Amino acid sequence: MRRDFTANAGAFIAAILFGASVVAVRVVVQDIPPLTLAILRFGQGGFFLLLLLLIWARDLLRIGGSDVSYLLLLGAIFFTIFPVTFNTRLRLTEASRGALMLATMPLWSVLLGRAAKRERLSTRQMCGVLLTFAGLGVVLAERGLTFVGKSLSLAGDALMLVTSLCGAVYGVLAKRMLTRYNALTVTAYTMMFGTLAAGFRRYPFFPLVIFNHIPYDELNHSNSCAILTFNP
């Protein structure tokens, strides 16, 4: 009972922080390219997590060599593809619409978990999934699933759907690593690996010359990126 309460409380707090980050990213991404924002945001987060582990819990830094490639995959999914599609989508249209599409992530997690691990869903759970999809469809249809002027709403919705799927895939695949390592270990390594993947894609010779390639006006938003670092 206590374990379920802790898990649900953690998920509730994470949902609040993530919801707040949608609005914050919507503001910052107007001035910083999506890929650069992902690098600055999660690069700082990964660095501080690894630094904290190095100072206070060095044992948590130990991982098996055979698990590196798997952690690289997780990092590419959740800290490269996920933030880039997320940031790009919020550059196209309003944050409220993005938050609605992102709300499908738990539903995709349920469906992927059922498909990948044969997890059984009760009748009540299936009804909940179907009702949520139906409700989301009604809200989006009411707002209009069309291209409106230059907002490219439909393109943004497609990108956020990809974002939700990436989050769901990460949640299902990460369980394998979370049974072997502490959550901080998995988060720190996947965050750094994802940042490196995005960095080498955006900047040749990353990270040695990253600050020579990022325009000064983008670096002026480093405080905003630091704030976003502490959100999911």
Per-residue pLDDT reduced to its tens digit, 59-93: 999 999 999 999 999 999 999 999 888 888 887 76
Neighbours of 132 (CB within 10 A): 15
Task: Give the Cα separation of 221 and 232 in Å (integer).
Answer: 19
CB 109 within 8 A of CB 171: yes
Q: Give the span between the Cα atoms of 166 and 105, in whole angstroms.
A: 9
CA angle 20/25/28 to nearest 5° reads 130
In the predicted structure, residue 104 carries a pLDDT above the cut 90: no
What is the pLDDT, as a whole number, of residue 149? 47
How would you write 171-221 as a 3-class SS string? HHHHHHHHCCCCHHHHHHHHHHHHHHHHHHHHCCCCCCCHHHHCCHHHHCC
Does 148 or 8 have the greater pLDDT score? 8
* pLDDT score of 228 more than 70: no
- The whole-angstrom separation of Cα 211 and Cα 216 is 9
Helix runs in 57-182, H state only: 68-76, 82-92, 95-102, 105-117, 123-143, 153-178
Burial of 87 (0-12, 13-18, 19+ CB in 10 A): buried
pTM score: 0.78
